Amino acid sequence: MSKKLEIMPLGGMGEVTKNMFAYETENEILIIDCGIGFPDYTMLGVDILLPDISYLEDKKDKIVGILLTHAHDDHIAGLPYILPKLPQIPVYGSKLTIGFAKDRCKETTITPEFIEIDKQEFSIGNFRIKPIPVTHSVPDGRHFVIHTPAGVVYHGSDFKFDEHPVDGVVSDYDSMKTAGDAGIDLLLSDSLRSERGGRTISESMLKETFQKEIKNTKGKFIVTVMSSNLHRIQQAIDVAEENNRKVAFVGRSIEQNIKTAESLGFIRLPHNILHKRKINKLPPHQVCVIIAGSQGQVGSSLERAAKNDHDLVSINPNDKVVFATEPIPGNEVFLYDAIDNISKLGVEIAYPDIRDETLHVSGHGNADELMRLVDLTKPKYIMPIGGAYRHMVQYKKLAIKLGYEKDRILILDTGDTLLLENGQAKMGKKIKLKDVIVDGSGVGDVGFVVLDDRRRMAESGIVVVVVLINKTTGKIIGQPEVISRGFVYMKNAKKLVNIISQKTTQILPKSIGKNQWSKLKPVIEKSLQNLIYKEIQRSPLILPVVREV
Amino acid sequence: MSKKLEIMPLGGMGEVTKNMFAYETENEILIIDCGIGFPDYTMLGVDILLPDISYLEDKKDKIVGILLTHAHDDHIAGLPYILPKLPQIPVYGSKLTIGFAKDRCKETTITPEFIEIDKQEFSIGNFRIKPIPVTHSVPDGRHFVIHTPAGVVYHGSDFKFDEHPVDGVVSDYDSMKTAGDAGIDLLLSDSLRSERGGRTISESMLKETFQKEIKNTKGKFIVTVMSSNLHRIQQAIDVAEENNRKVAFVGRSIEQNIKTAESLGFIRLPHNILHKRKINKLPPHQVCVIIAGSQGQVGSSLERAAKNDHDLVSINPNDKVVFATEPIPGNEVFLYDAIDNISKLGVEIAYPDIRDETLHVSGHGNADELMRLVDLTKPKYIMPIGGAYRHMVQYKKLAIKLGYEKDRILILDTGDTLLLENGQAKMGKKIKLKDVIVDGSGVGDVGFVVLDDRRRMAESGIVVVVVLINKTTGKIIGQPEVISRGFVYMKNAKKLVNIISQKTTQILPKSIGKNQWSKLKPVIEKSLQNLIYKEIQRSPLILPVVREV
């Protein structure tokens, strides 16, 4: 029997987030990453999205472990939701990645076995794995060379090639080359920044920026940054210390990450950290605040401070606020709202649009870096990952320029899989993938019917029509009652409500037979739909309530 | 008595869109612009926003006319909604601006008097007005020098200084200088691009881009562009003609604008325009399609074509799609969705992220152009307009660098007004402004209570609880009925619905006194709110329906 490996993205293909891959051989399944995704505008009220593990349902016994590439939430934060649905399997990752993964699982009842790996080759079941350190916007990330019965796969998740990383740990090019020389059948590679030519700027440039910004700041120096970007936080801390300012951390995500990172040796804190409750006890020019909410998220520490609504952080005219960040697509409105609100406080603000200095660099490699990984690993086949469809298309163009044949680069869409067999890769079977939705404490209990109803009510509200029927005579009792929410102002609504009520009376029979009332509902729904659209060009959800008494 | 002028923004301050200004003197009010605004994510189901004219309510007799600066919807499209609420007053504007304004009012019953102005000085009431042609992303725009009893105001709405405009009509610098030499007390100036240094690129650069992109395109050449950007459309038309392609226009907004612009002489069409129904009758390499939906708007022609769902335009592998556009903040997700969908069709796409060529230029001037207007007009005071708060702050910094005193630049927030008296400008009185919302055919009938309910239902749905009371005995009849929408999947909901129903029974008294049932509602609402949050961490809208029978 021939040796086969099937690679199945269970989330994340063409979506950037909620990354999860299943590597399946005849007897085993290795899972790589277990991330969350973020809802778009159409998914009303949804908190987060999860990969869909239904494919694993009847194959759970084959699963030998979960391997994590790096510590970002779109690669690890699905664990507390997904692990309880799988048999007890070990979770592998680098020191910081495991540290953050443990934090994510802290408030749950699960107690997975976490296994720290570093650079040495190790095995999960029959998968022999060589971890390769790479630079990214969170420290301690890894690529993996995965030896499978069907061939060698290089799993190249999110990375950049930063030659001057803040922690000094340069990507391990030698190991990449060694693996390439030994033969790679398939490269999975980050493709997010394939549209941009050249190389990304080194993260270490940010230090100079902070130095420039802190000069002449008479009040507090307030920096906002992604809470997992420990390199950038480290540089802000260092610059604050050099300028005799004490550093306070504000915001749950930043406080948590700093605590874990420090205990694991991934961040160096100065001796006198300022407790957030003591920010106002020091003269402002001795204070640096590193605050969460760099995307202007509603409810975040920064967003509240910007509206003068944070009990610990006030932003005053001599302060300076530095946005060492860039909006993630979809967040522009929130981020710029925060900037506008802070502008109104009369303080100086630094944000990318008004600075030539580098206030943000990407954690993902540009075209040159992406192709350098191809050069080093010399794979027979390539499957771009980690980007939207357009990014994978651009990646493919780059690889073709490098000399690859078209059919050596496989672009997968949601539900596609890849088959590696005897060192040859091709498109595999299709699998069904749905969005798994987390809303409040419910997982998967909000489906598309529910979301459609929400969309409808969000657009035009709801109209409830209550009809009572005498259960002995079958006669309609009195006038139908009409109640609306999110529809029109009540004072304007009176006329409309009367029309709706009259119309309902008209279409209702005087009396109906026993147990026939359920047939009334679709009739009421349809005629009111038409009536209301004609009257006011809106399509609220119509909810007929028919009861026998 | 001293001569006063009050300038009141009735919409648009710090919001970019829904522009409308009232210039009020002792006896007269002149209105400048009457635009619509666009809802943000929090305004669920809202179609458009309007300026708030409540301030004019008891002063309608003072209004002498409406003066339009240029033909963009955020300056003119409020007319069909606002004009019916004002006395019959004339509407002034340049030829194209009036043409587009007439189009906007076409489907209404109002018949305003439209008066075309060009470059000659004219009067509206006691306001003496000198129009000055300026370049922008729609042709035929004007600045206005407005002589008022309290001083001379330069109303400098949206502009750029394009030295090579497509229609050859350069901004009239001489008239600006003449006005400046004669003395300007107050300059109102566009400030949108104050964050960017230098100058914007000339619109005429786009021709070269189109020429490059059309070369080697074997299939249809499909261009999407803002439907009011006639200059850009003209260049696409010219390039198509030079390459022996016939041009078809697809999309209501583009078709309408082309028709009006051609009849007024603002666009030159080649002899053989291709009817949109004949696109598929010609060989693809002889076709150029100019299509609406450049922001990827859901339901637009381009968005449907991208999903292979347009009956006239199919996008095939040899075609090329050119996005001569940039996402308006907030539209990123839609635009990139369209790009991803077109990527999946396997056609070549050109969009700003992957081209060094100029695929979009702004219609607003950068810092140098903004300050050149200041240089030319030499105003005593300046009030930045047309930008968000952060843009006005940057504008102020530019003017200060140019030598202006801080207090000579007045930044207004929503509800602020400016007072010009004896040639001196200062902050005026505050006025109350609310968002006026258009939803379906209703204007102003959706208020914040309605929007709050929509938000609530969008987040977590609605739970309706029906309680029936015997009106003679006051006894509760049977079990309360619980119905939900947009809450949780019905199959998962059963348990929860039972809990809710039981809880309602528990908190209800066995019977209640006459006419006391209305007191039950808040009790039911509050206890179910708590119960549901405890059970599932969601906060649906609770709608108790209590009826006596």
Percent share of chain B, pLDDT over 70: 96
CB contact under 8 A, A466 and B41: no
Provide the Cα torsion B525, B529, B531, B532; round to 10°.
130
How close does chain B come to A390, measured CA to CA in Å? 5
Mean pLDDT of A96-105: 97
Question: How confident is the prediction for chain B on average, in pLDDT?
Answer: 92
Give chain B positions within 8 Å (CB) of A536.
440-442
- Name the least confident of A232-236, A397-401, B44-48: B44-48
Answer yes or no: do A441 and B488 touch at CB < 8 A: no
| Helix/strand/coil percent split, chain A, to 5 | 35, 25, 40
Alpha-carbon distance A133 to nearest alpha carbon in chain B (angstroms): 30
The predicted pLDDT at position B365 comes to: 97
Specify the pLDDT at position B533: 86
Question: A473 — phi, psi (to 5°)?
Answer: -95, -20
Closest by Cβ to B332, choosing from A44, A330, A478: A330
What lies within 8 Å, CB to CB, of B224 at 6+ separation is: B290, B291, B292, B293, B294, B302, B321, B322, B323, B324, B325
| DSSP, residue by residue, A391-436 | HHHHHHHHHHHTT--GGGB----TT--EEEETTEEEE--------E
pLDDT at A443: 67
pLDDT (tens digit, 9 = 90+) per residue, B124-181? Answer: 999 999 999 999 999 999 999 999 999 999 999 999 999 999 999 999 999 999 999 9
Nearest to B390 among A329, A343, A441 (CB): A343
The mean pLDDT of A65-75, rounded to a whole number, is 97
Question: DSSP labels for A64-124?
Answer: EEEE---S-HHHHTTHHHHGGGS-S--EEE-HHHHHHHHHHHTTSS--PPEEE--SS-EEE
Residue A490 has pLDDT above 60, yes or no: no
For residue B343, the cross-strand partners are none
Q: Enumerate the residues of chain A whose CB falls inside 8 A of the CB of residue B482.
A: none
Decide which of A326 and B490 is more confident.
A326
What is the amino acid identity at position B334? Answer: F
Instruction: Please answer yes or no on whether A458 and B543 come within 8 Å at the CB atom.
Output: no
Taking residues A114-137, report their average pLDDT. Answer: 98
% of chain A residues with pLDDT over 70: 96
Answer whether B333 sits within 8 Å of A40, measured CB to CB: yes
Is residue A415 within 8 A of residue A432, CB to CB? The reply is yes
Arithmetic mean of pLDDT, B479-485:
85
What is residue B472's predicted lDDT score, i.e. its pLDDT? 82
Q: Do B332 and A329 touch (CB under 8 A)?
A: yes
pLDDT value of residue B445: 62
- In B, which residues are within 8 Å of A388 by CB distance? 336, 340
Q: What is the pLDDT of residue B180?
A: 98
Higher pLDDT, B62 or A472: B62
pLDDT of residue B330: 78
The pLDDT, as a whole number, for residue A537 is 81
CA–CA min distance B38, chain A (Å): 13
Instruction: Please state, in angstroms and rounded to a whole number, the distance separating the CA atoms of residues A546 and A141.
Output: 59
Grade residue B1 by pLDDT with cuts at 50, 70 and 90.
Answer: very low
pLDDT(B490) > 60: no
Mean pLDDT value of segment A5-21 = 92
B296-309 pLDDT, tens digit per residue, is 998 999 999 999 99
Residue B515: per-residue pLDDT: 66
pLDDT band per the 50, 70, 90 thresholds, residue A532: confident
Of the residues A462, A477, A536, A542, the best mutation for testing chain B's interface (the one with the most B CB atoms within 10 Å of its CB) is: A462
CA A496 to chain B, closest CA, distance in angstroms equals: 12
Q: Given this model, what pLDDT does residue A64 score?
A: 98
Partner-chain contact B486 A447, CB within 8 Å = no
Task: Tell me which of B41, B295, B341, B393 to substitute to probe the interface with A (most A C-beta atoms closer than 10 Å).
Answer: B393
Closest residue, chain A, to B448 (C-alpha): A489
Contact residues, chain B, for A455 at CB < 8 Å: 458
Q: Identify which of A18, A9, A24, A63 has the alpha carbon closest to the alpha carbon of residue A146.
A: A24
- Does B343 score more than 90 pLDDT? yes
Q: Enumerate the residues of chain B whose CB falls inside 8 A of the CB of residue A466.
A: 466, 545, 547
**Percent of chain A with pLDDT strictly greater than 90:** 71
- pLDDT, mean of residues A207-219: 96
Cβ within 8 Å, pair B457-A459 = no
Q: Which residues of chain B make contact with A486, given a CB cutoff of 8 A?
A: 44-45, 450-451, 453-454, 456-457
Comparing A481-485, B111-115, B219-223, B333-337, which segment has the lowest mean pLDDT? A481-485
DSSP β-bridge partners for residue A70: none
Interface touch B545/A483, C-beta < 8 Å: yes
Least confident window among A292-296, A450-454, A522-526, B338-342: A450-454
* CA–CA distances in Å: residue A489 to residues A493, B440, B452, B461: 6, 14, 12, 19
Residue A315 confidence (pLDDT): 97
Contact A267, A258 (CB under 8 A): yes
pLDDT tens column, B234-286 = 999 999 999 999 999 999 999 999 999 999 999 999 887 999 999 999 999 99
Q: Is the pLDDT of residue A2 over 80?
A: no
Query: Smallest Cβ distance to B453: which of A440, A449, A461?
Result: A461
pLDDT in tens, B424-439: 999 999 999 987 878 7
CB-CB contact of A323 with A352 (8 Å): yes
- CA A421 to chain B, closest CA, distance in angstroms equals 26
Candidate from A348-362, A368-382, B239-253, B528-542 with smallest mean pLDDT:
B528-542
Give how far A71 is from chain B: nearest CA, Å. Answer: 26
Of A344, A458, A492, the CB nearest to B457: A458
Mean pLDDT of B304-316: 95
Give A375's pLDDT tier (boundaries 50, 70, 90).
Answer: very high
pLDDT of residue B480: 85
CB B29 within 8 A of CB B10: no
pLDDT category, A440, cuts 50, 70, 90? low
Identify which has the larger pLDDT, A366 or B543.
A366
Q: Which residues on neighbouring strands pair with residue B85, listed in sequence order?
A: none
- Report, as an integer, the average pLDDT of A129-143: 98
Question: Half-sphere exposure (CA, 13 Å, Cβ side) for B271?
Answer: 1
Which residues in chain B are contacts of A196 at CB distance < 8 A?
353
Q: What is the mean pLDDT of chain A?
A: 92
Position A1 pLDDT exceeds 50: no
Q: Which of A191, A149, A156 is nearest to A171 (CA)?
A: A156
B24 CB-near residues (< 8 Å, 6+ apart): B5, B6, B7, B8, B59, B62
| Cβ pair A45:B460 closer than 8 A | yes
pLDDT grade for B460, boundaries at 50, 70 and 90: confident
* Chain B environment of A447 (Cβ under 8 Å): 489
At residue B479, the pLDDT reads 83
A545 and B41 in contact by Cβ < 8 A?
no
Band (pLDDT 50/70/90 cuts) for residue B112 is very high
CA of A268 vs chain B CAs: smallest distance (Å): 35
Cβ(A405)–Cβ(A211) below 8 Å: no
pLDDT exceeds 80 at position A248: yes
Are B478 and B514 contacting, i.e. CB atoms less than 8 angstroms apart? no
CA distance A324 to chain B (A): 17
Residue of A nearest to B486 (CA): A450
Enumerate the H helices of B331-432 as residue ranges. 332-344, 367-377, 389-401
Q: In this complex, which of B330, B333, B440 lies closest to A536 when CB atoms are compared?
A: B440
Helix axes B448-460, A448-460, angle to 10 degrees: 180
* A379 has pLDDT over 70: yes
Domains and CATH numbers, chain A: 4-198+362-443 (3.60.15.10), 205-354 (3.40.50.10710), 448-548 (3.10.20.580)
- More confident site: A530 or B517: A530
pLDDT band at A446 (very low <50, low <70, confident <90, very high): low
Q: Would you state the pLDDT for residue A515?
A: 66
Tokens representing B420? 């010009």
A375, two tokens: 């050069």
Tens of pLDDT, residue by residue over A274-302, are 999 999 999 999 999 999 999 999 899 99
Interchain CB distance below 8 Å, B390 and A336:
yes
The predicted structure's pLDDT at residue A525: 87
Residue of B nearest to A539 (CA): B440
Q: What is the pTM of this model?
A: 0.89
Per residue in B4-39, pLDDT (tens digit) is 999 999 998 888 899 999 999 999 999 999 999 987
Minimum distance, in Å, between the CA of residue B71 and any CA atom of chain A: 26
